[in-house]
Amino acid sequence: MKTRLVSLPDFKKAAGRNHDTPISFKQAEMKPTSFLVSWGREKTFCIKTYGCQANVRDSEILRGYLLALGMKEQEDFDGADLILFNTCAIRENAENHLYGELGRAKETYLKNKDTIIAICGCVMQEEKAVRYVLDHFNFVSLIFGTNNITSFYSLLEDCLVHHEGIVDVKSNSDLIEEGFPEGKEGRESKVTAFVNIMYGCDKFCTYCIVPYTRGRERSRKEEDILAEVRCLKEQGYKQVTLLGQNVDAYGKDFHDEYAFASLLEKVAETGIERVRFVTPYPSDFKTEVFDVMKRHQNIMPYLHLPIQSGSNRVLKRMNRRYTREEYLEIVKALRERLPDVFLSTDIIVGFPDESDEDFEETLSLVREVKYDAAYTFIFSPRPGTPAYHMKDSTSDQVKHERFDRLKALIDELATNRAKEFVGKTVEVLFEKVSDRNKEMISGYDPHNKLVHVRGDSSLIGQIRKVKILESRTYSLLGELVDD
């Protein structure tokens, strides 16, 4: 296929952001042309989403665009007229997964050469990855990035009209677009919803690719966020999760340090049943946020507070802007105000030259904090990030051994904590039929514990009392009790 390169991403441009340029706000282009509507009628699409909640939300917006053309969604790509991959670049295996999937998509393409295969998301923000796709998968029709999903209609139309491939990836953005459908259109769930409060990341942790793939930190206006939450509530949504790479930096671009606490309070005051947020950055956390959590019963007593490492030496090399001691102070301040809060974290094992002592400090920190859950990752060098070039003499075997030891400790802590639930009654918001057993319905308690009960799909969207009968490491089994 002939491909037109409109713009290619550039990590250097993404890193050298110009904070002197103010953020501008614009209404997104959401109306399809009659050409696209007649093309889309009777056609099907399949979206494969990888990565974090930011990608899930972007895919929801793109799903909204495709549904508005009258297209129908299907789960697998076999036979779909349009296949969209929304990719994640956080670790090498996430990226490699895309290439495997593209091999499979090729079979669909060969059966019907009119199939549009599109790729967006964080992997496409790397020039090398875009070039690799163009060289190895020349049936791909459309490549765009995280900063121009709202150009989707015009890009798609260009591809269709000119019968050519298009690559248009913007490196950074000073723009916030509003006006996406706020409610159900395109969203994955009819019960819980993600609400972006800010985009991008300015932290530049040395291992992380996100600041290059998601651009400069920029906060949505409070009134737009609140309008979205109110609309979701009116439509029957029971929970919103406020999203940002470091939510407690919300409003820093308007020079307001306390903006997150104030926003969180206003979201709680809308009266929506449950409010959650991810991800706070430890040293940006203001205790005002804990006070707001304490004041509002509808802000769930659960916090995901990434530590990354228990060693100050490693934290410094990661460019995390807190020490182990400061982190522990934050946890203490949190637990003083909210003794019942559940805490989870992210930890990277095998950061370049992590020593045995560094790793032991991570284990001791985990024991001290007693996390309820933790997501653990083996360091994956990402080209373009500073840590990619750091000297590393630890063998893969040692990294895997450390990973297994850490995982065993976390599982033990989580198992013990889960056992404390047995015999208790908790309130569960039911979200879906269980993946494993179609006779079970699953949901979450306020602490974000996954709970399964026997029941039918009429429970979905309800908050019900459940008596816990059995515990596993990361889930609980219970039965409904009458209110």
- Binding positions for ligand F3S, rule: CB under 6 A: 51-52, 54-55, 88-90, 121-122, 209-210, 213-214
Query: Quick one: which segment of 124-132, 198-206, 227-235, 363-371 binds ligand SF4 (CB under 6 A)?
Result: 198-206
Query: Quick one: which segment of 143-151, 207-215, 218-226, 430-438 binds ligand SF4 (CB under 6 A)?
Result: 207-215
Residue in 204, 254, 258, 375 binding ligand SF4, rule: CB under 6 A? 204
Q: Find the angle CA(350)-CA(351)-CA(352) to the nearest 5 degrees.
A: 105
CA atoms within 13 A on the CB side of 315: 21
CB nearer to ligand SF4: pick between 115 and 173:
173
Least spacing, CB of residue 202 vs ligand SF4, in Å: 8
Binding of ligand SF4 at residue 474 (CB under 6 A)? Answer: no
CB nearer to ligand SAH: pick between 85 and 207:
207
Binding of ligand SF4 at residue 315 (CB under 6 A)? Answer: no
Binding of ligand SF4 at residue 245 (CB under 6 A)? Answer: yes
CB nearer to ligand F3S: pick between 121 and 181:
121
d(CA 38, CA 34): 6
Residue in 210, 267, 300, 307 binding ligand SF4, rule: CB under 6 A? 210
204 binds, among ligand SAH, ligand SF4, ligand F3S, none (CB under 5 to 8 A by kind): ligand SF4
Least spacing, CB of residue 477 vs ligand SF4, in Å: 34
CB nearer to ligand F3S: pick between 29 and 188:
188
**Which residue type does 361 have?**
E
211 binds, among ligand SAH, ligand F3S, ligand SF4, none (CB under 5 to 8 A by kind): ligand SF4
Q: Within its chain, how far is the Cα of 81 from the centroid?
A: 27
88 binds, among ligand SAH, ligand SF4, ligand F3S, none (CB under 5 to 8 A by kind): ligand F3S
Interface residues with ligand SF4 (CB under 6 A) are 201, 203-205, 208, 210-211, 245-246, 281
